[in-house]
Structure 1
Amino acid sequence: MTESDELTVNFDLRNIRPCNAAQIEDEEPFRITTPSEQWAYAAVVPLSWENGESIPDGYRLSVKVDALVETGMIGVAVAAPDLQSFVSGERSASATAGYVTLDIKLDEPRAGLWLVIRNVCHGGNASCVQLHRVVISREPRTPESAALSGDLSVFDTPEAQSINEARLQNLDRLGLPLEGKTVLDVGCGPGHLSVFFAERGCRVVCVDARPENIERLRSLYPDREAVVANVQIDPLVKLGIFDVVFCYGLLYHVEDPIAVLRNISACCSELLLLETVISDHDKPIVQLVDEPVDVANQAAGGLGCRPSPSFVTMALRRMGFPFIYTPVETAPFRDFQFECRHDAEWCRDGHLLRQVFVASRHSLNNPRLTPLLETHAPQTVVASVHQAHARPVQVLAAAPDQIWIDVGSHLGEKTFAAAEQFAGIRVFAFEPNLRVASKLMGRLANYIVLPVAIAEHDGSAAFYLNTFDAASSLLPFVPEGLEQWIGGDVLNVDAAVQVPTMRLDTFINQAAIGRVAYLKVDAQGTDLAVVRSAGERLRDIERISLEVQTTTVPLYRNASSREEILQFLTNAGFVLADIETQSHGQEENLTFRRI
């Protein structure tokens, strides 16, 4: 067998073995339907090469799997003879990737190894994949190949050190209020950049999809909290809510930037610091690119992306960041210093094109930042940014002396920025979770926070506090609905406490409010009850936005359906104006205006 020889192992029923009741169709290409459980093995294949020949010293094994993922996401790796552990990195591919070749390297191959195909899709969903062939070849082990197969020295090359120094120098010059914050470092690699925050008294939690990176981090920085997680599929809110999310050098290594931005935004309460390779274009576009899966600082799944600045800005705005900036002074490294030509290039003159984004929940009066987006009036995004025919953003005029009511305000994601920009808007924000409400109290004179739940009776009621603050509700979960909910594994009730309740008409009357320009409701299943509690005063409300679940089985017990909400508000003289889909298609934000 020469260095270039290849042996092909064809998938047939003599070689492939189903696991956990997975289904395999007995035709080429072999089609596997995985179990629904995430991480469950679907099939294993014994690896062998010609005549059981051993790989001589100085060689490594390359296993290439040609596959087409039809639905969900699958992972492929090489397992030890006992199938209890992987001896290679896992390569993953989703249905958005198309036909792929997953390349796995083994530096120390041995007899009895297995090729494993498993379900990586979360939320109790099975995956389906066509396996076309497996090609096994031996390759000489060189210093370069050692770096490609797990040698983490790629993070410590002079090039890597130079760009890291430039990144942190630029970040430091921005003068952002970072001291003592809680920080989530997403795509941390071996953790070198996390030192910047630790030196400023921050509590830092590091996340990376590659176990070898986290292992190296723990050896270098033993006091640092570190977690192995795939930001494309693992909900990061299970780690908590952080003041700052730091995501440098990751976004362009993922195949689904919208999913990643949604994931990291969900656990960010103040600032999202983002650096990525971009496509130089003025339109909101994203390009998909192949990346070498065996490089420790490249895409773990073999497919990356190159979003344009306007794509990133639109997506971040959609994730609830009304203020998005970029540094006035670029980082002192060639990747950041380029002339915009709008030619869709992401690599020019032999180097990548990079940009830094600072997304904030609140306005930043910082002369070192230039705005890419500043919300100067309340906005309703009516279509997801990744839809092919997204409608333009509709802007609601902010007339002087408006009264807004925000029921289930949480951290003010939908209304605080408008109150901050327009002193003529007076917002009454109802948030029964006192711990969350206290974070907004006293910050603005025209943003009045009331730790009260709006309900259909004045008095008190049980309030179910959730580990994920935004899921806390007056209603308990439906077990079946929670089990089916995408992301339901992070929704856990910590306690049930009594909170004061008030009808909306009681408040409007006692506060002597004449008209309400805008009522925003996000009450986790009780949205229609909130509207009903306005009673006769509903006629004095001009515009209403509320949330409804669209799943077959409701997440909350006795939650109102979409049909009930539409019928009630139509009968009350409102017309549906905008629809915003969210939560992986499981919820809609409906906006109504009075006819």
Structure 2
Amino acid sequence: MNRSGQLTITSIIIIIGFAVFYVNYTIHGGLKVFSNTVAKNRVGFGGFGAGVVVVEGNKKDFVTMVQRTMFTLNTQGYIPMPDTIKRVWIDVGSHAGTFLAGDSVYSAVYWPSRTSKNLRDEFREATDIMTIAIDPNARFYDGLSKIPRVVAIIAAVYTGAGTQLFYEYPVDGCSSLLEPNAELDVSYFAGKWLTGCHQVKQMTGVSTVRLETILSLIDPRLDIQLLKIDAQGADLEVAQSGGEQLKRVGKIIIETQKKVSTNNKTSNMLYKNQVSAAHSVKWMADNGFIFDEKQSFANNEEIKEYNYVFNNRYRNDTS
């Protein structure tokens, strides 16, 4: 090889080396500077990805992994709400259709002794209800944030704060923090409807925040009347993450499945390590929430999926 060829190869190696250094320094160095800046200016929660309060002067913003301010806390350190608001609903696993379309949970009546209106109609007509709508799908944010009296948060609610692997399925409503159950009986795929809820499209990372954190940011003067959870197999874990703050909630609705076993194997659960309906009822009862069988109903009888309703035993305004 002649001298000019050697110089060319040497130059290429130097350029590649510089590029690698530049890219790595920019990415890792930039992230380090960014994380250090956030660490100096945040209060309250562990992990930037989880949802942290970033302090800038007298302003405190609640920011999640998407690096977008969800809301700015008021001077008391709570989620800002008008003085006309007296009641708060929390919707975990939310989307705009929940409030605007025929969502089965929002189409039901849950306080028959007080009103004959279903959730959707009561929310539309009332002026004293604010809903905190939480979902990790960033595409839902714009739709939710345009609905009056809705505070939208892009995050997943789970037992730990930080970031978590998230399994995305072809059907948005099936995406979950839990991986699919490999032992799901293939007979459930006969009608093809379940395929989109079992084949993982991709895995991504999402912000996770404890329910306890969200509840603690709600002014104590407000009545947390309802907690509706649709977390695709992780519903009980969401409730469990409420900690001591969970006792502030009047009524809880979760989506759950009854176990069906075939050849000593659980064959109908959609997700691996998913908690059963029976276990959910027991935990809720042990923690002050009584199963309301009359208000509960089937969501998908084929896979034994139900919406279970629980009332706070220490409150007399839940029926």
| Fold match (TM-score > 0.5) | yes
Give matches, 1:254-333, under 5 Å.
none
SS of the residue 2:298 aligns to: strand
Alignment gaps of 5+ in structure 1: 1-398
Alignment gaps of 5+ in structure 2: 1-83, 107-118, 261-266, 314-319
Distance 1:500 1:417, change over 3 A: farther
Distance 1:544 1:568, change over 3 A: same
TM-score (norm. length: structure 2): 0.57
Query: Does the CA-based 8 Å contact 2:94-2:135 persist in structure 1?
Result: yes
Instruction: Report what 1:563 is aligned to.
Output: 278
Q: Distance in 2 between matches of 1:464 and 1:420?
A: 33
Deviations 1:225-245 (A, max 9, x none): xxxxxxxxxxxxxxxxxxxxx
Query: Does the CA-based 8 Å contact 2:86-2:223 persist in structure 1?
Result: no
Distance 1:499 1:416, change over 3 A: farther
What's the C-alpha RMSD, in Å, of the aligned pairs?
A: 2.1
Q: Distance in 1 between matches of 2:203 and 2:185?
A: 17
Of 275, 293, 297, 1:580 maps to 297
Return the structure number with greater helix share: 2
Q: Distance in 2 between matches of 1:590 and 1:555?
A: 17
Q: Confirm whether residue 408 of structure 1 aligns to residue 93 of structure 2.
A: yes
SS of the residue 1:406 aligns to: strand
Deviations 1:140-193 (A, max 9, x none): xxxxxxxxxxxxxxxxxxxxxxxxxxxxxxxxxxxxxxxxxxxxxxxxxxxxxx
Query: Following TM superposition, by how much is the alpha carbon of 1:567 offset from its aligned partner in structure 2, in angstroms?
Result: 0.6
Q: Distance in 2 between matches of 1:484 and 1:432?
A: 31
Q: Distance in 2 between matches of 1:426 and 1:525?
A: 26
Of 490, 495, 517, 2:196 maps to 490
Q: Confirm whether residue 534 of structure 1 aligns to residue 238 of structure 2.
A: no
1:572 partner amino acid: N
Query: Does the CA-based 8 Å contact 1:453-1:499 persist in structure 2?
Result: yes
Query: Does the CA-based 8 Å contact 2:255-2:306 persist in structure 1?
Result: yes
1:481 partner amino acid: L
Q: Distance in 1 between matches of 2:160 and 2:178?
A: 15
Distance 1:417 1:475, change over 3 A: farther
TM-score (norm. length: structure 1): 0.31
Query: Following TM superposition, by how much is the alpha carbon of 1:532 offset from its aligned partner in structure 2, in angstroms?
Result: 0.3
Q: Confirm whether residue 501 of structure 1 aligns to residue 218 of structure 2.
A: no
Query: Following TM superposition, by how much is the alpha carbon of 1:547 offset from its aligned partner in structure 2, in angstroms?
Result: 0.7
Q: Distance in 1 between matches of 2:151 and 2:201?
A: 27
Sequence identity (%): 28
Deviations 1:50-90 (A, max 9, x none): xxxxxxxxxxxxxxxxxxxxxxxxxxxxxxxxxxxxxxxxx
Query: Following TM superposition, by how much is the alpha carbon of 1:484 offset from its aligned partner in structure 2, in angstroms?
Result: 4.3
2:296 partner amino acid: I
Instruction: Report what 2:309 is aligned to.
Output: 591
Q: Distance in 2 between matches of 1:564 and 1:580?
A: 17
Q: Confirm whether residue 510 of structure 1 aligns to residue 195 of structure 2.
A: no
Q: Confirm whether residue 465 of structure 1 aligns to residue 168 of structure 2.
A: yes
Instruction: Report what 2:146 is aligned to.
Output: 442
Q: Distance in 2 between matches of 1:530 and 1:558?
A: 15
Query: Does the CA-based 8 Å contact 1:456-1:532 persist in structure 2?
Result: yes
Distance 1:405 1:495, change over 3 A: same
Query: Following TM superposition, by how much is the alpha carbon of 1:436 offset from its aligned partner in structure 2, in angstroms?
Result: 2.8
Query: Following TM superposition, by how much is the alpha carbon of 1:459 offset from its aligned partner in structure 2, in angstroms?
Result: 0.8
Q: Distance in 2 between matches of 1:561 and 1:497?
A: 26
Instruction: Report what 2:251 is aligned to.
Output: 543
Query: Following TM superposition, by how much is the alpha carbon of 1:469 offset from its aligned partner in structure 2, in angstroms?
Result: 0.9
Query: Does the CA-based 8 Å contact 1:433-1:465 persist in structure 2?
Result: no
**Structure exhibiting the larger radius of gyration computed from Cα positions:** 1
1:458 partner amino acid: A
Q: Distance in 2 between matches of 1:483 and 1:421?
A: 45
Distance 1:418 1:472, change over 3 A: farther
Higher normalized contact order (CA 8 Å, seq sep 6+, divided by chain length): 2
Instruction: Report what 2:227 is aligned to.
Output: 519
Q: Distance in 2 between matches of 1:546 and 1:511?
A: 21
- Between the two proteins, the alignment pairs up a number of residues equal to 196
2:92 partner amino acid: V
Query: Does the CA-based 8 Å contact 2:296-2:306 persist in structure 1?
Result: yes
Q: Distance in 2 between matches of 1:547 and 1:484?
A: 22
Instruction: Report what 1:433 is aligned to.
Output: 137
2:90 partner amino acid: I
Deviations 1:317-367 (A, max 9, x none): xxxxxxxxxxxxxxxxxxxxxxxxxxxxxxxxxxxxxxxxxxxxxxxxxxx
2:94 partner amino acid: S
1:507 partner amino acid: I
Q: Distance in 2 between matches of 1:506 and 1:459?
A: 12
2:195 partner amino acid: D
Q: Distance in 2 between matches of 1:416 and 1:564?
A: 29
1:477 partner amino acid: P
2:252 partner amino acid: I
1:495 partner amino acid: Q
Return the structure number with greater strand share: 1
Query: Following TM superposition, by how much is the alpha carbon of 1:417 offset from its aligned partner in structure 2, in angstroms?
Result: 5.0
Of 454, 461, 470, 2:157 maps to 454
Distance 1:594 1:511, change over 3 A: closer
Query: Does the CA-based 8 Å contact 1:416-1:447 persist in structure 2?
Result: no
SS of the residue 2:237 aligns to: helix
Q: Distance in 2 between matches of 1:592 and 1:582?
A: 16
Q: Distance in 1 between matches of 2:90 and 2:188?
A: 29
